[in-house]
Each structure stands twice: as structure tokens, then as C-alpha cells.
Amino acid sequence: MKMIMTQAVLPAMAVLGLASCADSSADKDGNGIIDSQERAAEMDYDAFIPMKPGLWETNFVFADINVPTLGKAEKQRIMDELAKSASSQSCLTDAEAKKPGADFFGGTGAEKCVYKAFDISGQNVRMKLSCGMDSMGSVDMELAGVMGETEFNYDSTLDVRLPMVGKVAMQGTARGKYMGACPAS
């Protein structure tokens, strides 16, 4: 299954060349990490509202990037490039839409992510996760917003940590919208 959020963000960080506090709402064993079983239990417990199966389009817009050495035009160019890279389309099957896998929000590369908070309460979603980007560094993300049957809207804060650059802070939003039936493959 293709992701709607993190799959878009991790490849976008590669374009730059260049992301946390623990929450225990879903952390049943108290170790500060919410594993896939705890995320699945949280989705069951908090009555996740199913999404509509079909084609979904995600658009990511970065509102701010903190790179003191870059000018305003350079920052805007990077944010535009990241937004272009992060925007995507994906199809949800009937089964995935009724109950997305616990790693639905992690997508490609989710095996490199550690969830520190994961709270789904009806349409409200809040999560914190840290993801490795191989030798390129890591990204810490905090996502909060509302998910509905045909759209979602998340505010996000990202801290990208790069070996040679240090920390780059970014803020933005991700908006997803149901577009209709998936194209025939």
C-alpha cells in the first residue's frame, strides 16, 4: 500500500540533500515507543473512521524552513521543490480504506520510523515519529489534524538532522483529498 504522508516526506528530504517528546496514550508497555501492535490496538480502541476507497491525492505545502544561511528566494525554491516532490497520488483498496494498516501513515520507509506518540480519536489524528534516512541523517515529525472519509488535513512540524549541516526545522501542511475510483491497472 502506498502512503499518504511519510512516503512523501522522506523522499523530499533527499531532494534537499539534507524532523519529541514521548506520549504514552498508545504506549501500553511504557517503553516510550509505540510499536505496530500498539498502533493497531489504538486504531481499534479509538474507533478509526474509515476512508473512502479509491484514488487519493496528497499535496504538501511548506510554510517555513529555518536555514539561516539561505536567502528568502532560496528558501522558497527549496520549499517549492519539496512540496512538488512530496505531493503524490495513491490508491486505497476497500480493505485498506476500512482499516488501514497500522503503518498506513508511515508508508515506504516505515521500518525506519519509531513512533513516540500515536493517537487516533475518531477523526482527530496526532502522532510523533522519528525516521532514519540511511546515511543522510534523520527526520523527526509531529503531525496533528483531522481525517475524514474523503479528505484529511494535517499540520506538521519537521526537524531534519543532517550529518554535515545540523538541524533544519520546517513547518507545513499536508492535505489529502479523495479523487474518485482508482485507474484500471
Average pLDDT over residues 102-131: 73
pLDDT at residue 98, as a whole number:
74
pLDDT at residue 17, as a whole number:
32
**pTM greater than the 0.85 cutoff:** no
Q: In terms of C-beta density within 10 A (0-12 exposed, 13-18 middle, 19 or more buried), how is residue 108 classed?
A: middle
pLDDT at residue 108, as a whole number:
52
Does pLDDT of 7 surpass 50? no
Domain extents in the chain: 6-180
Query: Grid coordinates 524532523 are at which residue?
Result: 19
pLDDT at residue 119, as a whole number:
84
pLDDT at residue 112, as a whole number:
66
Q: Give residue-wise pLDDT tens across range 9-47.
A: 433 333 333 323 333 468 888 888 888 778 777 766 655
Q: DSSP string spanning 78-109?
A: HHHHHHHHH-EEEEE-HHHHHS--TTTTT-TT
Q: Give residue-wise pLDDT tens across range 54-102.
A: 998 888 888 888 887 888 898 888 888 877 777 778 888 888 887 665 4
β-strand partners of 126: 119, 144
Give the residue, 165 or 4, on which the prediction is more confident. 165
> What whole-number distance in Å separates Cα of residue 107 and Cα of residue 24?
23
